[in-house]
Structure 1
Amino acid sequence: MDRDAILEKVVSVAQDTLDIADGVELTEGTNLKDLGADSFDLLEFVTALEDEFSLTLDDEAVGTIATIGEVVDAVESAQ
């Protein structure tokens, strides 16, 4: 799966799990904390990503993720 397809899926999962307001555009530079996500929200997000992509994200890497682009990087690394 190419980066654009991964980004599209990550954005979709983020919108569903992080309760993003309509009209908010998510890009690779979007900071997850700026979206109002707390640690529980991020855990839900990661779990949903693992289900969506049928993979397991490295716990250490997940702890350092701050942006949508870094989520895409982590998914690419885990594939």
Structure 2
Amino acid sequence: MTDRTAIIDVLKAQIEPFNKKGIAVTEATTFQGDLEWDSLTVMDFVAAIEDEFDIIITMNMQAEIETVGQLADAVAKLKG
């Protein structure tokens, strides 16, 4: 299992409590379009991810991240 795969698995687990629609989460899943998250949900989720991986995701990075796969790449980069 690659580090990226492990990150995706953790992200999926972190998404689960916020997945009110119960959709199947993939790397292509979008936070706004597919999961229909509002800004408060995004902030709660980002806080959970930051705690889980001990990283800081800047507002600029958040603005560019639209999918689970993009978030996994950002986490991998930040964990460097």
TM-score, structure 1 normalization: 0.87
Aligned structure 1 segments of 4 or more residues deviating by more than 4 angstroms? none
Task: Supply the distance in 1 between the matched residues of 2:26 and 2:4 (Cα, whole angstroms).
Answer: 13
Q: What's the CA shift string for 1:1-26, capped at 9, x where partnerless?
A: 7000000001111112x23444x210
Task: Supply the distance in 1 between the matched residues of 2:20 and 2:77 (Cα, whole angstroms).
Answer: 26
Task: Supply the distance in 1 between the matched residues of 2:64 and 2:12 (Cα, whole angstroms).
Answer: 18
| Counterpart position of 1:5 | 6
Identical amino acids, percent of aligned pairs: 31
| Counterpart position of 2:55 | 55
Aligned length: 77
Where in structure 1 are there 5+ consecutive unaligned residues? none
Task: Supply the distance in 1 between the matched residues of 2:65 and 2:38 (Cα, whole angstroms).
Answer: 13
Q: What RMSD in Å do the two structures reach over aligned CA positions?
A: 1.5
Where in structure 2 are there 5+ consecutive unaligned residues? none
